């Protein structure tokens, strides 16, 4: 079971008339983490007000009058539920019997049934089906023994089993945000006369760029001018060493003139790929540390989930192409593979968020076995970055759309760069780097070449139920990523297959005008020509994406549509050839009337398994 939610809590030294507004803005920024229900709890002049319901931030904020709330402190939550119906009662915040304590939570409390039975026997009344509701009642229970709010909170936390990021507020100490973390991420924002606690930098950044990332098993409280943190065992933490300045720019979080984040983030690729590459070239220490670990590796295992797994597949193929032993593994499947991993091997953990629980658990298991870990992340403050032996920061800017686009291309670029550094063939590296420096122009040109076709093709695909994406060798991971994109944003069943393998079964489904999309990368043109012919012979609707100089007459003859793409080297194609598919998925989703930024049942960061 897994659940991913967004948390924001604010406390201010002065009473704020605009507190409700602040919450609406912060919750909108968090909505990409979960969008089943939304709620806030505000403390104002010794009263606790709760407003929550199912729906989007905009609709709930309007119907429940969020912007009318004033006060000095509050907590807010966006929920993404996979277990139990998203109802008003199950929405966060949850309260105790006296309605003086409110709690928001991300994660799973495994022992909630036994805690609930205990609390029921003590006369507590529950109104939701959630595990979270035990927390305010536990705090209430311990407060009734004479403890202050923080001591009662700490005691409640010590009774929980599972994973959690929890923030609580109590009217008796209205400027104190009580927090605790185990696995699920939580950060504290330190402002002037203002403190925040959130699951995400995105909601803190408008207020401050100074944050503290909580570690596992840490608890504490934040007041407008003071933060206190200790371990659950009671060892105080020196805050001065933990405050870090973040270099994200708030404008990167806005949609700007675009209709959706997805298209904004696709268009941003020429810029952010340059950022990734210049970051790799200028951060020599960061790269060298990773290369030093990788160069002594017997086998390099690349682990990732979703798009990060597809980047890992591409990375592993490229490492092998360069002569290194490498294998990609899906994070959630990694544990059995890790049994045969030896201490001489190295793991590359690929995760844009740096928080994906499946990847984190696989990485921790590897480290427990004495294996070193290099991480590739887009958040240097993330758990995966902080726990790895070395990490590379992708510098892709914040990615808000649930579907990964620019972070995928950056991941691929980082992996190719690592491969080149491992090769230690200076001349070859320089030649390839010269082509990679052209990525902004090539990417822009790819977007131009593919945009019109994507719009037109989207019209055809929008009425289809199924589509195949086929490619050989490097073309296969790109196809897998293409299939994932159209599945998650346009809800069309899509399957990626190695093109040569398609005749061993999948071709049975191909009938009149069945869409089959080929991606050609690299040197195997003749073989893929045969695969294209096979599909055409079954009357498929064939679309072929191919490098400009590789569109042969056989491909032309057997494809209903050929999209010629610029390429400067194999490496530039590996980074950019997914972009036409990102555009196709985007326009198909729009054509079908879906919001690609908020695919149903999905969340941006899956922090609980």
> Which residues are the active-site residues?
5, 604
**Token output for 478:** 């790109």
* Using rule CB under 6 A, residue 307 touches ligand M6R: yes
**Token output for 274:** 């340059």
Smallest distance from the beta carbon of 356 to ligand M6R, in angstroms? 3
> Contact region for ligand M6R (CB under 6 A) — 21-29, 221-229, 288-296, 400-408?
400-408
Reduce the DSSP state of residue 175 to 3 states and report it.
coil
Smallest distance from the beta carbon of 404 to ligand M6R, in angstroms? 4
Reduce the DSSP state of residue 541 to 3 states and report it.
strand
**Rg from Cα positions in the chain:** 25
46-105 residues near ligand M6R, rule: CB under 6 A: none
**Token output for 114:** 């036994």
* Using rule CB under 6 A, residue 352 touches ligand M6R: yes
583-602 residues near ligand M6R, rule: CB under 6 A: 602
- Would you say 362 or 606 has its CB closer to ligand M6R? 606
- Residues 461, 492: contact at Cβ < 8 Å? yes
Reduce the DSSP state of residue 517 to 3 states and report it.
strand
Smallest distance from the beta carbon of 601 to ligand M6R, in angstroms? 11
Task: Please count the residues of this chain forming the interface with ligand M6R, following the rule CB under 6 A.
Answer: 17
DSSP 435: H
Reduce the DSSP state of residue 461 to 3 states and report it.
helix
Smallest distance from the beta carbon of 605 to ligand M6R, in angstroms? 6
* Using rule CB under 6 A, residue 305 touches ligand M6R: yes
What is the C-alpha to C-alpha distance for residues 24 and 550, in angstroms, rounded to an integer? Answer: 52
- Would you say 108 or 402 has its CB closer to ligand M6R? 402
What is the C-alpha to C-alpha distance for residues 204 and 583, in angstroms, rounded to an integer? Answer: 31
* Using rule CB under 6 A, residue 494 touches ligand M6R: no
| Upstream peptide bond of 93 is cis (omega within 30 degrees of 0) | yes
Smallest distance from the beta carbon of 71 to ligand M6R, in angstroms? 34
- Would you say 551 or 605 has its CB closer to ligand M6R? 605
- Residues 543, 516: contact at Cβ < 8 Å? yes
- Would you say 171 or 486 has its CB closer to ligand M6R? 486
* Using rule CB under 6 A, residue 312 touches ligand M6R: no
Interhelix angle 426-436/406-423, rounded to 10 degrees, is: 160
- Residues 48, 61: contact at Cβ < 8 Å? no
Q: What sign has the CA pseudo-torsion 256, 262, 264, 269?
A: positive
* Using rule CB under 6 A, residue 482 touches ligand M6R: no
* Using rule CB under 6 A, residue 605 touches ligand M6R: yes
Of 8, 211, 330, 404, the residue at the interface with ligand M6R (CB under 6 A) is 404
| Residue 534: half-sphere exposure toward Cβ, Cα within 13 Å | 21
- Would you say 61 or 187 has its CB closer to ligand M6R? 187
330: β partners:
304
* x/- track of binding to ligand M6R for residues 186-225 (CB under 6 A): ----------------------------------------
* Using rule CB under 6 A, residue 359 touches ligand M6R: yes
Of 303, 606, 607, 608, the residue at the interface with ligand M6R (CB under 6 A) is 606
Tell me which residue has its CB nearest to ligand M6R. Answer: 306
Phi-psi region of 397 (alpha: psi -120 to 50; beta: other; left: phi over 0): left
Query: Interface residues with ligand M6R (CB under 6 A)?
Result: 305-308, 351-353, 356, 359, 402-404, 484, 488, 602, 605-606
């Amino acid at each position: 079971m897994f659940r991913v939610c967004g948390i924001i809590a604010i406390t201010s030294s002065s009473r704020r008339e605009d507190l409700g507004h602040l919450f609406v803005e912060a919750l909108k920024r968090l909505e990409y983490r979960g969008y089943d229900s939304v709620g806030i709890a505000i403390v104002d002049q010794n009263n606790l007000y709760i407003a929550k319901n199912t729906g989007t931030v905009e609709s709930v904020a309007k119907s429940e009058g969020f912007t009318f709330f004033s006060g000095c402190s509050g907590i807010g939550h966006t929920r993404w539920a996979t277990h139990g119906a998203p109802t008003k009662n199950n929405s966060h915040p949850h309260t105790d019997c006296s309605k003086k304590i409110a709690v928001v939570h991300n994660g799973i409390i495994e022992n909630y049934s036994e805690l609930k039975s205990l609390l029921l026997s003590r006369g507590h009344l529950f109104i939701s089906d959630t595990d979270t509701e035990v927390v305010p009642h536990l705090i209430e229970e311990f407060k009734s023994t004479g403890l202050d709010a923080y001591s009662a909170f700490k005691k409640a936390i010590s009774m929980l089993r599972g994973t959690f990021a929890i923030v609580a507020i109590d009217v008796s100490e209205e400027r104190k945000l009580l927090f605790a973390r185990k696995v699920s991420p939580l950060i504290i924002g330190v402002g002037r006369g203002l403190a925040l606690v959130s699951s995400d930098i995105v909601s803190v950044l408008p207020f401050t760029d100074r944050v503290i990332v909580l570690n596992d098993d840490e608890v504490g409280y934040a007041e407008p001018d003071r933060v206190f943190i200790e371990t659950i065992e009671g060892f105080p933490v020196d805050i001065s060493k933990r405050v870090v300045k973040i270099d994200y720019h708030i404008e990167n979080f806005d949609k700007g003139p675009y209709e959706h984040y997805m298209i904004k983030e696709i268009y941003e690729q020429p810029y952010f790929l340059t950022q990734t590459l210049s970051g790799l070239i200028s951060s020599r220490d960061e790269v060298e540390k990773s290369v030093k670990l990788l160069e002594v590796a017997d086998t390099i295992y690349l682990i990732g989930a979703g798009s990060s797994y597809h980047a890992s597949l591409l990375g592993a193929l490229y490492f092998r192409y360069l002569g290194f032993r490498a294998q990609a593994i899906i994070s959630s499947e990694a544990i059995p593979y890790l049994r045969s991993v030896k201490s001489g091997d190295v793991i590359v953990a690929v995760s844009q968020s740096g928080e994906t629980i499946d990847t984190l658990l696989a990485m921790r298991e590897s480290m427990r076995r004495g294996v070193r870990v290099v991480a590739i992340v887009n958040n240097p403050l993330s758990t995966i970055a902080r726990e790895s032996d070395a990490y590379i920061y992708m510098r892709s800017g914040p990615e808000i759309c649930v579907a990964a686009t620019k972070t995928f291309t950056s991941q691929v670029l980082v992996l190719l760069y690592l491969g080149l550094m491992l090769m230690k063939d200076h001349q070859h590296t320089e030649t390839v780097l010269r082509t990679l420096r052209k990525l902004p122009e090539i990417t822009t040109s790819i977007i131009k070449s593919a945009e019109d076709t994507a719009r037109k093709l989207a019209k055809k695909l929008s009425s289809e139920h199924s589509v195949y994406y086929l490619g050989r060798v490097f073309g296969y991971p790109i196809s897998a990523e293409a299939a994932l994109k159209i599945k998650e944003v346009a809800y069309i069943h899509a399957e990626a297959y190695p093109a040569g393998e398609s005749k061993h079964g999948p071709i049975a489904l191909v009938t009149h005008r069945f869409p089959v999309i080929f991606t050609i990368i690299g040197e195997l043109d003749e073989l893929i020509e045969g695969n294209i012919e096979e599909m055409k012979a079954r009357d498929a609707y064939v679309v072929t994406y191919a490098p400009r100089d590789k569109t042969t007459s056989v491909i032309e003859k057997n494809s209903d549509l050929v999209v010629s793409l610029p390429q400067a080297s194999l490496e530039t194609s590996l980074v950019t050839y997914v972009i036409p598919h990102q555009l196709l998925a985007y326009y198909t989703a729009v054509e079908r009337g879906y919001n690609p930024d908020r695919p149903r049942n999905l969340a941006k960061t899956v922090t609980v398994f």
